[in-house]
Amino acid sequence: MNRHPRLLPLLLLVALLGATATACGGGDDSAGATTPATTAADPRAGYFGEEQSAALNPALTALVEADRTWVADGDACNDTATRLFEAGATPRKAIACHLRLTTAMRDASRDVRVAARGVEGDFRAECVAELGRYRATVTRMAAAWQRTLDLWNAYGRGEAGAGDRITAAGQRAQDLTRAFLDEGEAGKALTVACYTAADRAEADAG
């Protein structure tokens, strides 16, 4: 069964409408109209737009793909490591697959953190607050994967006690990732606060 029925944990792949036009008054020149120019209020002011979606979505897509590989290859990786250990391989060689998978998750989660920190704009207060919480969430997730990778590397170098801490660190990283991808509360809250209702409806319909 597919663990990720949605491509992304957020509704950020918004099929945005064309750029909001500035409504200007002024009649037909040939008629000599002199109506003063007026500018309609931008309904997207304070909300995310195409620029913010473009900043976040590539990193989110990469995280989902890295997680799919982690889930798909995890059991085989454990089996390979066990077989290599039993054959007398060094710890570094035996855990090569763990290093590969964990590095991919560290890189992907780190890139989401960097992308979230790079989102800029003059947003409404609700969006600013949720963006701050979202950044904190992805920062914790990225830090957990970094911690797990550090412990795998320490284990590969033969540092005493590293192996005893890997399981707990890895479980925390996985729990944070499952909460982010499968439950998606941080992303849902960000989407509601930072996208217009029209954009959300269009994303759902698409």
The confidence score (pLDDT) of residue 62 equals 97
Residue 34: its pLDDT value, please?
A: 40
Q: What is the Cα–Cα distance from 193 to 128, expressed in whole angstroms?
A: 8
Looking at residue 41, what is its pLDDT? 65
Token pair 């207060």: residue? 125
Looking at residue 123, what is its pLDDT? 94
Residue 196 contacts residue 11 (beta carbons within 8 Å): no
With a cut of 50, list the residues of the chain below it in pLDDT: 1-39
Distance CA 121, CA 95 (A): 43
Question: What are 43-78's pLDDT values in tens digits?
Answer: 677 899 889 999 999 999 999 999 999 999 999 999
CA distance readout (Å), 21 to 8, 31, 199? 30, 24, 16
pLDDT (0 to 100) of residue 105: 98
Output the six-digit token pair for 206: 């698409």
- In this prediction, residue 202 carries a pLDDT of 83
Q: 153: which 2 tokens?
A: 């590397």
pLDDT at residue 167, rounded to an integer: 92
* Rounded-to-integer distance, Cα 35 and Cα 11, Å: 42
Q: Tell me what pLDDT residue 203 has.
A: 79
